[in-house]
Amino acid sequence: MLNSLRQIVQEVNSAPDLNAVLEIIVRRVKAAMNADVCSVFLRNQSNVYVLMATDGLHQNAVGKVSLSKEEGLVGYVATREEPINIDDAESHVKFQYFPETGEERFSSFLGAPIIHHRQVLGVLVVQQTQKRRFDEGDEAFLVTMSAQLAGVIAHAEATGALRGIGQKKEARFTGVAGASGVAIGRCVVSSPLADLYSVPYQTCEDVERELDFFQNCLSDVREDVKNLGEELENRLNKEERILFDAYLAMLDDKSLGGEVREKIRAGLSAQYSWSQVILEHVSTFNSMSDPYLRERASDVRDLGSRVLAALQQASSANKREYPDNTILVGEDLTASVLAEVPQGKLAGIVSLRGSSNSHIAILARSMGIPTVMGAVDLPFTHLDGHELIVDGYRGAVFADPSDAMREQYQEIVDEDKLLVAGLESLKDLPCETTDKHRVALWVNTGLKADAIISIERGAEGVGLYRTEVPFMLRDRFPSEEEQRAVYREQLEAFAPHTVTMRTLDIGGDKSLPYFPITEDNPFLGWRGIRVTLDHPEIFLSQVRAMLKASEGLGNLRIMLPMISNVAELEIAQMLIYRAYDELLEEGFSVQMPPIGVMVEVPAAVYQAKEFAARVDFLSVGSNDLTQYLLAVDRNNARVADLYHSLHPAVLRALKKVVDDSHSEGISVSICGELAGDPSAALLLVAMGFDVLSMSAANLLKVKSVIRAVSLEQAEKILDEVMAFPDAESINRCLEGTFREAGLTRLLRPDTDG
């Protein structure tokens, strides 16, 4: 059945719409399983399962027969959320007869739920006249087809294809919170040049003009291919030269060109028509059993990219218009793409790739643009011009929201504006509890723009300066002098306040285009201090630049990321002292800065005392520490809901780090999203953290909470939650506390890299 499965998947992927997908599924699954019937039931807004396609039952029943979750074997499959395999359907207690289907002659029944993100979207059913129990292979095949169908149906929800059966209008897609806030606006798809898979769905207003445009571009490419073939004629053998002839033939009106013209005449844009025709042919070649023909898929794809580039470059003369409240959506957005949006028009960002630590997310936070990263299931090419809601607090995107949902989120937007305005009066007040316990509030930065915002919000220092950002902005490693100039700007901007500079932390979810690190498991691989200790020339250059930049200021601290053992720490310290001695010999008047360790792996939690005895400070990186403790990649949208910053294991680890650090007489700070969470801040203050470091956007919210309680109250809350067995109980307790204190408005979840 493997070949059948592969071929069905290929056909499904190239199908133009949901109806075509359903027809392919029922027809091909019926044939592959030698069944008499195959049917698909899909759930509508009322949780009723409607017959949407069948091969074997009466066609006039499609769209008319429906069952609730409590009705029939289909409802039973949906309720149990597992396959049901019966050799005599009529004898089953859940059997229900629908005369309009003509199913009375079928005895055997096998149904599998269609599940996407834990939601049952429908049921896939096969039936047979004879009484027989389908075997394990049949069952596994049907479950596999259901899983394939789930993604297609979720896609159809977003593009409105299911509204005919009363499906809810808005569709929700989950990603990772990249920058806090809510944005409501119009989707503008940003597609890279010549990427066949990310051409947005677009129609054309003037068909004849679009046909002429397509013909001109096709002629240009045909001429280019012909010239290329002539140039390479003496360097290619006969078989390879035939390829160029084949390219020219494919561009003929009787081949690809003709198919594209048909789509344009149907009202689609030239670019979208071309991409769809090419992808259909690529899919056809990929599904062929002959290896030689299967290889031709790459030839078709190459030709497709050439023509698409011509179409896109020719149309780029008509500059893209950006509406007010633009929601920029793309597969892998860049800073240059953001820069194309006119000032004041960018309201939100959605990226299918990347994480909360990606360059684009860091930029978005500094700009105050609500952002969702890693929205892998978003069918973005079909959403151009659609209304979107970007929930940067929870990492969610809603397509075509209902009036009620739009009103709900507009209230959040309005509340956020009022909240920020109301907190401004706190920026010059000390961050202390009602019984005068003082806590330092610092910020996490990565860009020069962050410094201005941070100082305006009353930041008292920098707990984490991400030095990898200057590395990301170049196409090569920055020189020592280039680094010195960037670091000097940060140190001067915050002087005399402390600036904690983390040495280069690449690997994991942060990569440099000119220094790629490709690993099967990057979070457990070559990252952080492991990279820079293996490349001491990079580490020494960076440390020298930091020390030079601090000359005459004396407000630098150096922090080492991803330390997991004492040996790594001691080698790094040795290199720092070496750089320091070199600079003294060269005549620089520099001071040896405090050196600290980031506690972000479980090993560091249990060696915190040993580390504290050897350094000047510890700083917990709560984001990485949480994901390592819980074995959950916080940047993977499929498991992000298992990432709980207030998990009991996380809280106990944090308390141990504070106790061990203070037992050695050194300070301990925490940076990451936990420090910027107003409810978590109470617990961190009670634990004894000396410094909370967060995004500038969260600083005043956290200060507001700390100034509203006493240390004694915070310690009582901590004692209570430390006894709870799960994060849900801890969150409920904190919500109750905030409700009693009248601080509920500050509880909206937030994020910080």
Token pair for residue 487? 């670091």
3-state secondary structure at position 599: strand
pLDDT digits (tens, 9 = 90+) for 626-680: 999 999 887 666 676 678 889 999 999 999 999 999 999 999 999 988 998 888 9
DSSP string, 248-295: HHHTSTTTHHHHHHHHHHTTB-HHHHHHHHHHHHHHHHHT-SSHHHHH
Tell the burial category of 417 from Cβ atoms under 10 Å away from its Cβ (0-12, 13-18, 19+).
exposed
Does the pLDDT value for residue 90 go beyond 70?
A: yes
Banded pLDDT at 560 (limits 50, 70, 90): very high
- CATH number of the domain at 458, please: 3.20.20.60
Asked if residue 442 is part of any domain, the answer here is yes
Asked if residue 326 is part of any domain, the answer here is no
Look at the pTM and tell me if it is higher than 0.75: no
- Starting at the edge strand found earlier in the chain, the sheet holding 326-330 runs 171-174, 396-399, 387-391, 182-190, 326-330, 346-351, 371-373, 176-179
Asked if residue 501 is part of any domain, the answer here is yes
Q: Do 274 and 370 belong together in one domain?
A: no
pLDDT at 746: 61
Asked if residue 439 is part of any domain, the answer here is yes
Q: Do 443 and 500 belong together in one domain?
A: yes
> Residue 128 phi/psi, 5° resolution?
-145, 150
Q: Do 469 and 616 belong together in one domain?
A: yes
Q: To the nearest whole percent, how much of the chain has pLDDT over 70?
A: 85
Q: Do 643 and 526 belong together in one domain?
A: yes
pLDDT at 293: 60
What is the domain extent for residue 133?
2-165
- CATH number of the domain at 142, please: 3.30.450.40
pLDDT at 98: 83
C-beta separation of 409 from 685 below 8 A: no
Q: Do 178 and 241 belong together in one domain?
A: no
Signed CA dihedral, 662, 667, 672, 673: sign only: positive
Asked if residue 494 is part of any domain, the answer here is yes
Angle at Cα 363 formed by Cα 359 and Cα 366, nearest 5°?
145
Give the residues across from 617 on adjacent strands.
596, 667
pLDDT at 638: 67
Average pLDDT, the chain: 84
pLDDT at 753: 38
pLDDT digits (tens, 9 = 90+) for 292-345: 566 667 677 777 877 888 887 766 545 578 899 999 998 878 666 776 788 889
Q: Which of 359, 382, 386, 437 is catalytic?
A: 359
pLDDT at 216: 87
Banded pLDDT at 196 (limits 50, 70, 90): confident
- CATH number of the domain at 262, please: 1.10.274.10
Asked if residue 696 is part of any domain, the answer here is yes
Q: Do 615 and 491 belong together in one domain?
A: yes
H or E, element range at 574: helix 566-585
CA 531 to chain centre: 25
Signed CA dihedral, 695, 701, 707, 710: sign only: negative
pLDDT at 750: 44
Distance from C-alpha of 347 to C-alpha of 368, rounded to nearest angstrom: 9
Amino acid at 706: I
* Known catalytic membership, residue 671: yes
Out of 315, 342, 376, pick the residue that ends a domain: 315
Q: Do 609 and 542 belong together in one domain?
A: yes
Asked if residue 161 is part of any domain, the answer here is yes
- CATH number of the domain at 415, please: 3.50.30.10
Q: Do 515 and 646 belong together in one domain?
A: yes
How do the residues of the chain divide into helix, strand and coil, expressed in percent and rounded to 5? Answer: 50, 15, 35
Q: Do 530 and 557 belong together in one domain?
A: yes
What's the total number of domains in the chain?
A: 4
Q: Do 490 and 404 belong together in one domain?
A: no
* Known catalytic membership, residue 217: no
pLDDT at 250: 73
Q: Do 117 and 187 belong together in one domain?
A: no
Mind spelling out the 3-state secondary structure of 321-374?
A: CCCCCEEEEECCCCHHHHHHCCCCCEEEEEECCCCCCCHHHHHHHHHCCCEEEC
Distance from C-alpha of 673 to C-alpha of 625, rounded to nearest angstrom: 11
Out of 385, 419, 453, pick the residue that ends a domain: 419
Q: Do 450 and 538 belong together in one domain?
A: yes
Out of 265, 291, 315, pick the residue that ends a domain: 315
Stretch 174-194: mean pLDDT? 85
Asked if residue 26 is part of any domain, the answer here is yes
pLDDT digits (tens, 9 = 90+) for 401-426: 888 899 999 988 988 888 777 787 78
